[in-house]
Amino acid sequence: MEEKEVIIKYLMDCNIFAPSLSMLATEIGYKGKMSLYRLSKGEASKHTIDEIWDKIALNFHLTDNDICDIYQTCLLTKSLIEFSSSISYTEENEYRNFIYDLLDGAYHNFSDGFNNDATPFLIDLKENNPNIYYGMLVLFYIKHLNIDVYAKGFNETLYKFLNNLSEMLASHYPENYMAKEAASNIVSSKILEMSAKNLWGLLYHGTIVMRFYADSNFMNYAMQSNRLFGWGDLSYWIEPGTIYQEGNTLWAIKEVTSNSPFYGFCIVMKFIIGKTTDSFQLIGSYSYHFYVVNETMQAPILQIRDLSSNELMYCYYEYDSDNTCLSISFGEGEENIFMIPETLYLVNRISPTGKDEKVWSRIIDAFDNGQCQELYKQTICSYGKFEECNDMKITNVIIDRFTLSIVVEESSGIFVYSIPVSDYSFLSSVTPSSEITIIYKQDESILYFKWNQLGMSIPMSEFKKEEKK
């Protein structure tokens, strides 16, 4: 480990945690800046240095390794800036191409000297320390934009930066719709408001967004930050004590499976009971993200999105598995704008107890086998703004070293859609057995080939289309 004194001094010089010594002192709990001033002059005792280190770690929820990684990120970014200064960028897209080359590991586009000296190190860094590698690129991008992190309105600065970063990455990885959805969720998430109001906060969230797009392994890991409870295909819920009668409310929750880009989230539908199951009325639909608790949260957070208005609400949640009850609560100043019940009870359809639950079980069985499944399909298609295209059928997939070919049976004949594997990096991991569907994106009026398990899609218009001979 680098000497703590050297690391802290360098991070203070980089203004990673605060714009000045006095503000950093206040942030980590000192009444004055004298301890930090002594450290900056090389006059602090070992005890003081250890104390400052521990205060930084505690205040910003960092481990010793985290602090060392931030230090390495800053050092490498400085070297990257020095290297990039030797390259002339006449247009913004050329500057972005430099970042794209580093994201894709296209080091052959750089000088022989760079490849001899830096490429082996960067390859190893990307493989073994991805947070440092991608953090270096994010900090490099921040420096290029000349963002004044400590100006007024940090949250606005953070949101704008993450949106700009996501747009830049989406233009390079247009096939990775799952990353775009994940980045959008971060920007709209209440968790973002808990971010440290400093350069580290910008770097931390920016690194997450960049890894969503560029690091497929990270996406698989990050999706585990949301949780599912094993409630089954479609589960049905009532407020405790609610009897079956016209005008009362029934809730249905669909846990979306892991082969979807919506892993770890639920689609929730709210129904008003009618005289018959055919007359149940859908009056609300929501998406639920159950975040796994971590050190930055007081309690597990539930993000609720109204699928009709796209409005968001946040609350705390608790699931009592013994009594199959899901409860929510709100912090000070928070409102239940969607009027979600504070407690919902999962109706036991297999072994109902008591007269009322047995009645609910029979009614739900009839509803589940009929109208509810169709209403769910309409809800999820409306949310994702896409629908499966059932009048086109994929009959075969052929892939070799250079080309991916998809054979599609259409009403007018059988056609082969072909695309070079080199056009999209993820195609190198596609196999003939990979699940592919054809979807219609309603808001774009475009047909896509979609790889569910990879979270990728490509417009069919980008494929060469030929009639099968």
* Blockwise average pLDDT, block size 10, the chain, 469 residues: 82 93 88 86 89 89 89 93 70 76 86 83 90 94 90 83 90 79 68 77 91 77 64 89 93 68 70 84 87 60 82 86 92 85 94 93 84 68 58 88 91 91 79 81 75 74 89
CA–CA gap between residue 439 and residue 455 (Å, rounded): 13
Is 417 found in the same domain as 392? Answer: yes
Q: Which of 384, 406, 426 is the last residue of a domain?
A: 384
pLDDT of residue 361: 93
DSSP state of 273: -
pLDDT of residue 380: 58
Establish if 38 belongs to a structural domain.
Answer: no
Is 425 found in the same domain as 364? Answer: no
Is 173 found in the same domain as 295? Answer: no
CA–CA gap between residue 118 and residue 47 (Å, rounded): 38
CA–CA gap between residue 195 and residue 201 (Å, rounded): 6
Domains in the chain, number: 3
pLDDT of residue 352: 92
Q: Which of 356, 384, 412 is the last residue of a domain?
A: 384
pLDDT of residue 292: 66
pLDDT of residue 7: 93
pLDDT of residue 424: 79
Chain mean position to CA 165: 14
pLDDT of residue 258: 42
Is 395 found in the same domain as 314? Answer: no
Is 268 found in the same domain as 373? Answer: yes
Chain mean position to CA 140: 22
Establish if 141 belongs to a structural domain.
Answer: yes
pLDDT of residue 438: 86
The number of residues making up the chain comes to 469
CA–CA gap between residue 252 and residue 255 (Å, rounded): 10
